[in-house]
Amino acid sequence: MKRCYLLIISALFFRFAISQSVQIIPEPESVTAKQGNFILSSKTKIVTNVPGKGTKTAVYFINYLSRFYNISPDRNKAGFHNNFILFRYENNKDTLGSYTLNVSKDSIIISSGNEEGLFYGMQTLIQLLPTTVSPTLQIPTVFVKDAPRLAYRGMMLDCGRHFMPVDFVKKYIDYLALHKFNIFHWHLTEDQGWRIEIKKYPLLTQKGAWRNGTIIGHHPGTGNDCEKTGGFYTQDEIKDVVKYASDRYITIIPEIEMPGHSSAAIAAYPQLSCFPNQDTKILSGVKWCGDSTGKQVQQSWGVYPDIYAPTDYTFKFIENVLDEVIKLFPSKYIHIGGDEAPKDYWKKSDYCQQLIKNLGLKDEEGLQSYFVQRIEKYLNGKGRQIIGWDEILEGGLAPNATIMSWRGEEGGIAAAQQHHNVIMTPGGWLYLDHSQIKNEDSLTIGGYLPIKRVYEYDPYSSKLTKEETKYISGLQANVWTEYMADPAKVEYMIFPRMAAVAEIGWTQIKNKNYDDFKIRLQNEIARYKLWGNNYCKSWDNQPDTE
């Protein structure tokens, strides 16, 4: 009997010791703990088995160790019989991103049939590293088998409302990498700023990237800071960021908004408007700074009626812009926006009304559908596919479009039923601009989205049949920056909720468990601290509802 107690107690102790040290987010498919540790130090050798395969991953890991632990392991194949880390590329057809990670006392072997898998295995290994700095690191021995649940796991960053410097965009990409996301949706054009250099249209960045002030407080604001603000990414910077992401197995999907959210482009090229000579509309209650005549970049948030006129001039402009965009971004998908495009100006415009008649369209929604379909055809002709916000369902869906469902799940459900690919990004679960704590004292857009609610989300709606569910490619969280003026605020809003988004995108449903996630999250937060990230400290124990 005594022996039996002893066995139980030691088993419990062993379990406790494992749960203390093996805390991985997102939770892998299976984790089998072993006894003992691997000791990582500058003497450890880091090797690959196939020339060129896993090299980027090995370099990433070496740089990581040097940056955070001041450890410089040996990237050398000679004599790696003990204390080595091997990135083992296997010539098989593993699911994209799947891997095994075998930590033993003498070796760590990460194996995969694809380079993404080697990279994800390395990210899991990073999560096993202590969060305190020391010249020798103890890594618990463990066998991990893993694969992603969803093919598309994304996060968006809005660099239109507030320009974010390149260094931070790269940090954001590293945050995505740590959490095994594979898509960075880069929102690059807005009413409040155009952020991508387009050589053919220099005014887009000379004029459209800057505003003469920003409202203070919630829209319409209590005043205006009257500070000139803005910025843009040069094409060289974009190429650099695209490569940076690609080295981390992250695809960047650029978003070039149309026909709405285009005030900045119109400020640069007024002919894009239905009414080029009409002053920019300033929303009621907004205090304006500087010139308010002619076309201006907006200084407050919201939805604006001055949208692109569907003229030959505009279509040529968009095609020229997209020609430059697709040279910079190799992604299969280009996001063309499509949301929140009020039809007031199209209704008032004789040109638009005549066009609706000439094309035999029903109404202005039909005209937006025509607009989107024309751009889709252009991009399809260049070998690309479009993604649009769920408004592009209205007036008829473009034949090959992927839908990003943001106004709830309904748009995504309707699109999947029409056999269109869908990315679920419903505001009620995945908009990280909502407050994550009930008594939020920093300025946010409002709404309430505690981490538990994010964690509960599943993009496979029960309203879909098994066949229709196949059209749900994945999910994405969105970070709109109206009320995030700088990187520190973005970090505060994404951490730690981003960890929950990662887990619902990667982890099999059967392995999801909020209480267990919360325990593992402590370790992730310790890592955020090691990285020096800002984060929301009061995320736990928030009420479920407002």
Residues that bind ligand ACM (CB under 6 A): 339-340, 389, 406
Taking alpha carbons only, the member of 182, 179, 189, 181 closest to residue 158 is 189
233-531-154 Cα angle (round to 5): 55
- Measured from the CB of residue 186, what is the shortest distance to ligand ACM in angstroms? 14
When computed from its CA atoms, the radius of gyration of the chain, rounded to whole angstroms, is 25
| Residue closer to ligand ACM (CB basis): 29 or 339 | 339
For 388, what's the count of Cα atoms within 13 Å in the CB-facing half-sphere? 31
| Residue closer to ligand ACM (CB basis): 210 or 406 | 406
| Residue closer to ligand ACM (CB basis): 148 or 305 | 305
| Residue closer to ligand ACM (CB basis): 356 or 432 | 432
Dihedrals φ, ψ of 430, to 5°? -125, 15
**Cα dist. 277→272, 282, 296, 346 in Å?**
11, 15, 12, 15
| Cα of 111 vs its chain's centroid, Å | 27
| Residue closer to ligand ACM (CB basis): 172 or 406 | 406
- Measured from the CB of residue 339, what is the shortest distance to ligand ACM in angstroms? 4
- Measured from the CB of residue 340, what is the shortest distance to ligand ACM in angstroms? 5
| Residue closer to ligand ACM (CB basis): 161 or 453 | 161
Would you call the peptide bond into 148 cis, given omega within 30 degrees of 0 as the criterion?
A: no
Neighbours of 16 (CB within 10 A): 10
- Measured from the CB of residue 493, what is the shortest distance to ligand ACM in angstroms? 15
- Measured from the CB of residue 397, what is the shortest distance to ligand ACM in angstroms? 17
| Residue closer to ligand ACM (CB basis): 257 or 503 | 257
| Residue closer to ligand ACM (CB basis): 172 or 389 | 389
Residue pair 336/257 in contact by the 8 Å Cβ criterion: yes
With residue 416 as reference, give the H or E element that holds it.
helix 410-417
With residue 413 as reference, give the H or E element that holds it.
helix 410-417
- Measured from the CB of residue 390, what is the shortest distance to ligand ACM in angstroms? 8
- Measured from the CB of residue 260, what is the shortest distance to ligand ACM in angstroms? 9
Adjacent-strand bridge partners of 404: 389, 423
Nearest residue relative to ligand ACM (C-beta): 339
- Measured from the CB of residue 520, what is the shortest distance to ligand ACM in angstroms? 30
| Cα of 167 vs its chain's centroid, Å | 16
| Residue closer to ligand ACM (CB basis): 339 or 363 | 339
Neighbours of 28 (CB within 10 A): 25
| Residue closer to ligand ACM (CB basis): 8 or 303 | 303
- Measured from the CB of residue 389, what is the shortest distance to ligand ACM in angstroms? 5
Give the three-state DSSP class for 22. Answer: coil
Task: Give the list of residues 6+ apart from residue 171 with CB closer than 8 angstroms, or none.
Answer: 487
| Residue closer to ligand ACM (CB basis): 71 or 423 | 423
Dihedrals φ, ψ of 210, to 5°? -130, 145
Both tokens of 409, joined, read 């799940």
Give the three-state DSSP class for 417. Answer: helix
Instruction: Give the helix ranges, DSSP H, for 507-544.
Output: 514-531
Q: CA 88, CA 533: separation in Å to the nearest integer?
A: 32
- Measured from the CB of residue 430, what is the shortest distance to ligand ACM in angstroms? 10
- Residue entry with tokens 């020609």: 323
Would you call the peptide bond into 26 cis, given omega within 30 degrees of 0 as the criterion?
A: yes
| Residue closer to ligand ACM (CB basis): 247 or 339 | 339
- Measured from the CB of residue 433, what is the shortest distance to ligand ACM in angstroms? 9
| Residue closer to ligand ACM (CB basis): 287 or 407 | 407
Taking alpha carbons only, the member of 503, 502, 484, 500 closest to residue 492 is 484
| Cα of 112 vs its chain's centroid, Å | 25
| Cα of 509 vs its chain's centroid, Å | 21
Both tokens of 522, joined, read 């402590």
Q: CA 230, CA 209: separation in Å to the nearest integer?
A: 5
